[in-house]
Amino acid sequence: MKKSILPIIVAGVWITISEFIRNELLFKSLWVNHYKLLGLTFKTLPINGIFWFIWSIILAYLIYILMQKFSIIESLIISWLTAFIMMWLTIYNLQVLPLKLLIAAIPLSMLEVIVAGLIIERFKKYSSYTRH
């Protein structure tokens, strides 16, 4: 169990950092302006960071589990579709997704999942963890 926790935590931290950079540093003004047009306020609160970290750990765990059953490519495609496409469909349905964001978010989110998968794969190569 210990051997599976570390790659999940490291990949989860990477995902959290990637999400923070994308949404808070690169595209915060896009979010703020889009919400303002909707008559809403885009807030960055500590609780949001906590929920993003939980989301990131869940995504890292999903990647980890899928990599036990599928090839790395299949695992990353399934993970990306599950995490990002479903999230974007949901927030689009709630009418809070700035569609312009997807131009950059699609490739950056793919890179995010690929790096998380490579982190997990690296631990697999350099440790003796077993399949569950």
φ, ψ dihedrals at 98, nearest 5°: -75, 110
- pTM to 2 decimal places: 0.89
Mean pLDDT of all residues belonging to the chain: 92
- Nearest of 46, 52, 44, 61 to residue 17 by alpha carbon: 52
The pLDDT-based confidence of 4 (bands split at 50, 70, 90) is: confident
Is residue 107 in some structural domain? yes
The pLDDT tens digits of the residues spanning 45-86 come to: 999 999 999 999 999 999 999 999 999 999 999 999 999 999
Chain Cα centroid distance, residue 69: 20
Is residue 131 in some structural domain? no
Secondary structure element (H or E) that encloses residue 74, with its range: helix 72-80
pLDDT at 127: 65
Is residue 132 in some structural domain? no
Is residue 91 in some structural domain? yes
Q: Provide the number of structural domains found in the chain.
A: 1
In terms of residue numbers, what domain contains 33? 2-126
The pLDDT-based confidence of 125 (bands split at 50, 70, 90) is: confident
Is the alpha carbon torsion for 112, 56, 82, 2 positive or negative? positive
Is residue 121 in some structural domain? yes
Is residue 102 in some structural domain? yes
